[in-house]
């Protein structure tokens, strides 16, 4: 049998649960917005170029258009590759992979560079240049505005915000599950001594 105190306790429980879920969801949204404003890593946006995807002798994408301040991460997906800079804007300082044309790297290796100077950067893999393993990065303030580049669009959501969003969803589902259980099977423990 239900009493007024029991329904008040259930109602109070549901209010508290809803308030906690709302606070958690708001925190997740704030973290996502904060990460988006900084590009997720404290600097500009990050783009990825796969080196030798699936063992093929290419950079993917072979042509990339980015805005100044974008960091490009080159990720090796097969063995025996490097990055040799063929040409770049006069005031740029990209060296390619350490060791130049003679040093090769294998699957799992990464190389990053932040491109600040506008212009075209042409590069190649020394042992596979004749097979067509070449790439171009174009740095421009207008990158992505024509719809085909890589610098436009919304910034990525950082992993920390995704994790917080998942945790908030799980917490909300758990709280609602408990609320359903208490409403369904009753029990007012607030009045017991």
pLDDT 10s digits, 31-50: 444 443 333 344 689 999 99
| pLDDT value for 41 | 42
Q: Which of 1, 109, 133, 183 is catalytic?
A: 133
Do 75 and 119 fall within a single domain?
Answer: yes
Do 70 and 109 fall within a single domain?
Answer: yes
Residue 90 located in a structural domain? yes
| Residue 79 in this model has a pLDDT that exceeds 80 | yes
Where is pLDDT greater, at 192 or 83?
Answer: 83
Q: Which of 109, 111, 113, 125 is catalytic?
A: 125
CB 182 within 8 A of CB 10: yes
Work out how many domains the chain is built from and give that number: 2
Do 70 and 106 fall within a single domain?
Answer: yes
| pLDDT value for 26 | 54
Cβ contacts of 20 within 8 Å, gap of 6 or more: 171, 175
- Residue percentage of the chain with pLDDT more than 90: 50
The answer to whether 128 is a known catalytic residue is yes
Where is pLDDT greater, at 88 or 14?
Answer: 88
Pairing of strands 84-87, 70-76: unpaired
Do 50 and 32 fall within a single domain?
Answer: no
Do 28 and 55 fall within a single domain?
Answer: no
Do 34 and 50 fall within a single domain?
Answer: no
The answer to whether 113 is a known catalytic residue is no
The answer to whether 1 is a known catalytic residue is no
Say whether pTM exceeds 0.85. Answer: no
pLDDT 10s digits, 99-111: 989 999 999 999 9
Q: Which of 1, 81, 111, 113 is catalytic?
A: 81
pLDDT 10s digits, 13-37: 666 656 655 555 555 455 444 443 3
Residue 120 located in a structural domain? yes
The answer to whether 125 is a known catalytic residue is yes
Do 51 and 135 fall within a single domain?
Answer: yes
- pLDDT, averaged across the chain: 78
| pLDDT value for 193 | 55
**167 is in which domain, residue-wise?**
4-38+159-185
CB 32 within 8 A of CB 155: no
Do 128 and 58 fall within a single domain?
Answer: yes
Residue 149 located in a structural domain? no
Do 18 and 82 fall within a single domain?
Answer: no
């Amino acid at each position: 049998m239900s009493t007024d105190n029991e329904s008040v306790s259930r109602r109070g429980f549901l209010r508290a649960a809803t308030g906690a879920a709302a606070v958690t969801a708001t925190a997740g949204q704030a973290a996502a917005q904060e990460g988006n404003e900084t590009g997720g890593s404290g600097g500009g946006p990050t783009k990825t170029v796969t080196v030798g995807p699936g063992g093929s002798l290419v950079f993917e994408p072979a042509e990339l258009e980015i805005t100044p301040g974008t960091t490009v991460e080159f990720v090796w997906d097969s063995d025996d590759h490097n990055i040799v800079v063929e040409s770049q804007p006069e005031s740029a300082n990209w060296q390619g992979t350490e060791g130049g044309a003679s040093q090769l790297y294998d699957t799992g290796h990464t190389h990053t560079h932040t491109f600040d100077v506008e212009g075209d950067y042409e590069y190649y893999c020394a042992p596979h240049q004749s097979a067509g393993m070449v790439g171009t990065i174009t740095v421009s303030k207008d990158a992505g505005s024509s719809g085909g580049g890589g610098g436009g669009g919304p910034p990525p959501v950082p992993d920390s915000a995704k994790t917080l969003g998942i945790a908030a969803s799980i917490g909300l589902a758990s709280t609602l599950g408990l609320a359903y259980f208490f409403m369904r099977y009753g029990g007012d423990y607030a009045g017991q001594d």
